[in-house]
């Protein structure tokens, strides 16, 4: 059984009770958690560039990363 990790980015609002209202499964697939987390922080940083400073400040926006572990049956490639 092979283990892979997929990267999911969540756009969250931290005004009052935290609320993640948008999620995006990225095209990235990783062989280990470390690689997923490193890419996740880089992707989160880049995704904030798509928003204005006012949007981020007014809504207390942040990007949460998730590295979801997948077990894949079959031969190791």
For 54, the domain range is 2-72
39 inside domain: yes
Domain count, the chain: 1
Q: Is residue 16 part of a domain?
A: yes
What are 3-53's pLDDT values in tens digits? 999 999 999 999 888 899 999 999 989 999 999 999 999 999 999 999 999
Residue 68, in any domain of the structure: yes
User: What is the pLDDT at residue 40?
Assistant: 97
pTM of the model: 0.84
Closest CA to 47 of 20, 16, 26, 19: 26
Instruction: Say if 65 falls within a structural domain.
Output: yes
Residue 66 lies in a domain: yes
């Amino acid at each position: 059984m092979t283990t892979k990790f997929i990267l999911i980015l969540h756009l969250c609002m931290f005004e009052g009770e935290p609320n993640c209202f948008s999620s995006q499964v990225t095209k990235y697939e990783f062989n280990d958690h470390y690689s997923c987390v490193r890419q996740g922080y880089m992707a989160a940083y880049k995704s904030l560039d798509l928003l204005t400073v006012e949007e981020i400040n007014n809504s207390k926006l942040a990007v949460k990363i998730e590295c979801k572990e997948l077990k894949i049956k079959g031969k190791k490639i």
